[in-house]
Amino acid sequence: MGHVVVIGSGIAGLISALRAARVHDVTLVTKAELTAGSTAWAQGGIAAAVFADDSPELHTRDTLAAGAGLSDPEAVRLMAREGAARLHDLVALGVEFDTAASDESDTRGPLGWARGLEAAHSVARVLHAGGDATGRIIEHALATALDEARSSGRMLVREHTTAVAIVRGSDERVCAVDVAPSIPRDGAVVTERLDADAVVIATGGNGQLYRHTTNPPVATGDGVILGYAAGAAVVDLEFVQFHPTVLAGGGLVSEAVRGEGAVLLNAAGRRFLTGAGHDPRGELAPRDVVARAIAAQMREQGGAPVLLDATSLGERTLRERFPTIDRLVRSAGYDWTREPVPVTPAAHYAMGGLLTDMSGRTTVPGLFAVGETGSTGVHGANRLASNSLLEALVVGWRAGDLLAADVAPSPLPTPSLSTTQDKRDDEAGAVEVPTVLSEAPGASDALADGATPVAGEYVRDRAWDALGLLRDGVTMGDLARELADAQPADALAARLVPLARLTAEAALARRESRGAHARTDYPATDPRQRWRRAWARRVVASPELLTHDLHSDHREPALAAAVPTREVKI
């Protein structure tokens, strides 16, 4: 029996903690209350091949197509194959997915499950719970299971506790995590060292790098920077997904609303995603396509949001199928049963993160990453809707099981510097995608302090301008040079400055457009760049990284400020 420290309490952290605690003592630390992450905010649902007209092969094909040639086919196949079993495991843990009426026998799945359609899925395969409260219901069931595990004495849960450093021993293995209370006491930062045989990073995404995001305040990319600081390879950081439909003023309006038939209108009230020159799937084209089309339309109409028209769905469907969004929209002062509502794109999901395999192993011995913090290669250059809860569940489960079997498995090999051209011409994504370690000197240490103090909120504005939906080398180069001289001035900046540096380096290095990474100066996809680019720190030091001004006057960004009410600069 060993001691495993899990950092983060979304679906990925909770599942891996529950699985590992069958054998080991587990300490789970989480920087706010247990349910503060993205998981509890998930609306649309969780995708899996469980219906009669679907199969893991079809799910794999859709996922690879969305990934724009960069998804790892083996990883995708594994997720698609194991998905159904994991959904039944969720049911055993207390999740009740919505069911369809018994007269809708052609649409019902196992246990009578109902299903929703989201963009770029060739069949409806998204299970939901509580209408559009899927994440909240999953998080609640897992938190209840965690409570039961706590009573066994094997599980210790510490809320409002921030992981600030991963510590490695002289044998290179991870041996501890430094944590600090998230709520200031007397001003001074007091860290505590938790010894560990293995550490699982499950800190979620990094949407707060951007001024406008769907993500909760805790999504500041901590895990990527903690892992990077400890020497783990990061990968695919240039790929950030922007969700097309965020209510102007803040709050997601799920893609499932478009899946049920809602359409997008320009300021003149006309559909703009149909007809010649547009993806034939219209409003249900892949997210990157729809988000860019919205941005182009907004530019044409002086920055004003476009409109989502859900009036055809009818009051009952809107209220019963989408109760959370119904409340959100009404509280913002709109009656979406009668009028279209203003929406804009915002940063939503990080395809990149700490490089892992499908069991969450990173390149550092004893260090795991699961959920949105990890990057298994499933999502490639663009994630298929509702695949992230599934991937987090599958990988979190496998990581917990691997640890239960062997608390000290070998790490993932660090990718080589080789730049072989092998197998890079299959854009259909059927063959393996090479992962190559980058040699670029600019990112040799993204944690190095410069001379100019920079605040976290400033970085969010700059990232929105330079690393957003549409990018170009000049703007990103300016940002990279500015950040090279930056010194984090507050706790948020201690996370976001290195994250922005790495993202800018990765986005500059990819001189093509692919999936969510769209460059105006390289608008075409280049088959010769069909590889994943990894970065690793050469010097591993400064374990005190995130204690930097932990309790300085950083205020978590407020949800209300997530998206502007009138105009948005894309």
Site residues (CB under 6 A) for ligand SIN?
43-44, 254-256, 349, 385-386, 388
398 binds, among ligand FAD, ligand SIN, none (CB under 5 to 8 A by kind): none
504 binds, among ligand FAD, ligand SIN, none (CB under 5 to 8 A by kind): none
Residues 351, 356, 360, 362: what is their CA dihedral angle, to the nearest 10 degrees? -130
Residue type, 324: T
Contact between 30 and ligand FAD per CB under 6 A: yes
Q: What does 255 interact with, of ligand FAD, ligand SIN, none (CB < 5 to 8 A by kind)?
A: ligand SIN
| 3-state DSSP assignment of residue 311 | helix
Q: Considering the complex, state which of residue 42 and residue 200 has its C-beta at the smaller distance from ligand SIN.
A: 42
The 161-168 sheet, strands edge to edge: 161-168, 174-181, 192-195
Q: Which is nearer to ligand FAD, 254 or 435 (CB)?
A: 254
- Least CB distance to ligand SIN at residue 372 (A): 10
Beta strand 306-309 with 367-369 is unpaired
Of 126, 144, 121, the C-alpha closest to 42 is 126
Write the Ramachandran bin of 16: left for phi over 0, alpha for psi from -120 to 50, otherwise beta. alpha
Number of residues that bind ligand FAD (CB under 6 A): 44
C-beta of 41 vs 464, nearer to ligand FAD: 41
**Are 191 and 180 within 8 A, CB to CB?**
yes
| Residue 99, phi then psi, degrees to nearest 5 | -115, 160
Cβ contact 273:298 at 8 Å: no
Residue 222 binding partner per list ligand FAD, ligand SIN, none, with a CB distance cut-off of 5 to 8 Å that depends on partner kind: ligand FAD
Q: Which of 69, 73, 83, 135 binds ligand FAD (CB under 6 A)?
A: 135
Measured from the CB atom, the residue of 63 and 388 that comes closer to ligand SIN is 388
Q: Which two tokens stand for residue 78?
A: 């594994």
Give me the least distance between CB of 2 and ligand SIN, in Å please: 34
CA distance 6 to 12: 10
Pick 63 or 475: Cβ nearer ligand FAD: 63
Torsion of CA 74, 79, 84, 89, to 10 degrees: 130
Q: Does residue 349 interact with ligand FAD by CB under 6 A?
A: yes
Total number of residues shown for the chain: 570
Rule CB under 6 A: say whether 18 interacts with ligand FAD.
no
**Burial group, residue 536, by CB count within 10 angstroms (0-12, 13-18, 19+):** buried
Which residue lies nearer to ligand SIN by CB, 42 or 75? 42
Q: Write down the least CB distance from residue 88 to ligand FAD, Å.
A: 17
Given ligand FAD, ligand SIN, none, residue 37, with its beta carbon under 5 to 8 Å by kind, binds: ligand FAD
Q: Is residue 163 near ligand FAD by the rule CB under 6 A?
A: yes
Using CB under 6 A, which of 5, 10, 120, 537 touches ligand FAD? 10
CA distance 542 to 234: 18
* Site for ligand FAD contains 29 (CB under 6 A): yes
130 vs 303 by CB, closer to ligand FAD:
130
Q: Lay out the site mask for ligand FAD across 378-417 (x = CB under 6 A, - = otherwise).
A: --------xxxx--x-------------------------
C-beta of 349: minimal distance to ligand SIN in Å? 6
| Among 27, 39, 208, 241, interactor with ligand FAD by CB under 6 A | 39
Q: Which of 108, 136, 287, 321 is catalytic?
A: 287
Question: Is residue 212 a contact partner of residue 562, using CB atoms and an 8 Å limit?
Answer: yes
Q: Can 316 be counted among the known catalytic residues? A: no
Nearer to ligand FAD, 513 or 552 (CB): 552
Under the binding rule (CB under 6 A), the answer on residue 162 touching ligand FAD is yes
Nearest distance in Å: CB 246, ligand SIN: 10
Rounded Cα distance between 212 and 4, Å, is: 35
Region from 40-48, 58-66, 166-174, 334-342 binding ligand FAD, contact rule CB under 6 A: 40-48
SS3 97: coil
Cα 393 to Cα 10: distance, rounded to the nearest angstrom: 10
Q: Are 313 and 323 in contact (CB under 8 A)?
A: no
d(CA 178, CA 174): 12
Exposed (0-12), middle (13-18) or buried (19+): which is 271, by Cβ within 10 Å?
middle
Return the number of the residue (150 or 319) whose C-beta is nearest ligand SIN. Answer: 319
- DSSP, collapsed to helix, strand or coil, labels residue 445 as coil
Pick one of 4, 26, 46, 412: the residue that binds ligand FAD (CB under 6 A).
46
Q: Which of 5, 16, 45, 467 binds ligand FAD (CB under 6 A)?
A: 45
243 forms bridges with which residues in the sheet? 346
Burial 53-68 (b: 16+ CB within 10 A, else e): ebebebbbbbbbbbbb
Which does residue 77 bind out of ligand SIN, ligand FAD, none, counting CB within 5 to 8 angstroms by kind?
none
Of 188, 329, 231, 285, nearest in space to 534 by CA: 231
Under rule CB under 6 A, residue 37 binds ligand FAD:
yes
* Residue 260 DSSP label: T
| Contact footprint for ligand FAD (CB under 6 A) | 7-13, 29-32, 36-39, 41-46, 134-135, 162-163, 202-205, 214-215, 218-219, 222, 252, 349, 371-373, 386-389, 392
Residue positions annotated with a catalytic role: 287
